[in-house]
Amino acid sequence: MDIATLLLFIGLLLAFIMAMNLGGNDAANPTSAAIGAGVMTIKRALICFSIFTLAGALLQGFMVMKTIGSGIVPSIDIAGAFAIILSANIWIFFATLRGMAISTSHSIICAVVGYGLVRFGLGGFNMGVLGSIALSWVVSPLCSLALSFIIFRIIVNRADRSEVGRRDGAYRFFKILVIVSLCFSAYSFGANDVANATGVFLTIAAQVGQVTDTTAILFLTVFGVAGIVVGGAVFGPRVIETLAFRVTRLDLPTGLAASLSNALTVYLFTTIPYLIFGFGLPISTSYAAVGSIVGASLARSSRSVSRGISAALFSYWVITVPINIAIAGGVYYLLTLLL
């Protein structure tokens, strides 16, 4: 077995671990609002998360997978895929252990940039795609925050908050809406985030297996979702507790507003750019989730947002950029010396 083949097998193993890290860190994004509002237990929320993440990945995961696999740089070779996956794995696992909901999309894209800088230089990037992705990282949390604020105001205007707590019918109705929004959010997550674990292997899988892109995408989707489900079950509760209970306190109206705005934001950024430009944007579902929770809390002015936790989350988001660029670029450069 030559070094390139060995790197491919190790890289696929790391991709599965990456999917586990992704599930461990990002399972909180669709589920935290429902759990924080007391609608579902962590176990039941993770079951719903697993089912609808698979559905979203199978039906729409290809929209973002092509963006990461060949949209940012001309191509990703075996050594590059290995360096990218290893870099993102290291940082996401570290953040997950600290209970910090960082962006897996942010991590993988910055790792692709680190690889691209070493292999192609500054002129090798598709700046239109890269610029759109970078802009979406800023716009998506603002959109989710605004949507959550508006949705909450609509809910409050149409249903007296005291009645939600007192009337069994209203309470059950809100519970159903929160569960539906969790399922929609998990679907959107699967459509957008499965590419983070396996997208860099799209071209390689098609070439090595001598199959079409469609077949390669199907294999990588199932492979990635399996890792996400395992990671969500094993590592997810730590980050879920941070978003569900430590950023702010959620009730049914704020939980519904946060969950629904998060789902809409991720779904729209996945679907609309693909329909218009041919590539879905790999946005940060973590940013969207935090933005939606903050927006709902701001709409209900009596709910305070933890400045300490919010500042810690923001600091992790910022340092994700240089860390992944540096690790991926450094690893790929060392591999080029060996191959």
Chunked mean pLDDT (size 10), the chain, 339 residues: 74 87 82 82 92 95 82 85 90 78 83 94 87 88 92 71 56 83 92 86 73 82 93 86 69 80 92 90 82 82 64 81 95 89
Token pair for residue 235? 């590592």
The whole-angstrom separation of Cα 328 and Cα 103 is 16
The whole-angstrom separation of Cα 329 and Cα 110 is 10
Look up the pTM and report it: 0.82
pLDDT at 249: 65
Token pair for residue 320? 């994700």
pLDDT at 269: 93
Burial of 173 (0-12, 13-18, 19+ CB in 10 A): middle
Token pair for residue 238? 């730590």
- With b for 16 or more beta-carbon neighbours within 10 A and e for fewer, the 23-52 pattern comes to bbbbbbbbbbbbbbbebbebeebbebbbeb
The whole-angstrom separation of Cα 249 and Cα 163 is 19
The Cα-based distances of 317 to 19, 93, 104, 105, 327 in angstroms read 19, 14, 10, 11, 16
pLDDT at 71: 77
Burial of 308 (0-12, 13-18, 19+ CB in 10 A): exposed
At residue 2, the 3 state secondary structure works out as: coil
Contacts of residue 28, Cβ cutoff 8 Å, sequence gap at least 6: 101, 236, 239, 240, 242, 243, 244, 286, 289
The whole-angstrom separation of Cα 52 and Cα 19 is 16
Token pair for residue 220? 């990588």
pLDDT at 333: 95
The Cα-based distances of 14 to 18, 43, 88 in angstroms read 6, 26, 10
- Nearest CA among 277, 235, 170, 202 for reference residue 28: 235
Task: Report the 3 state secondary structure along 192-214.
Answer: HHHHHHHHHHHHHHHHHHCCCHH
pLDDT at 229: 93
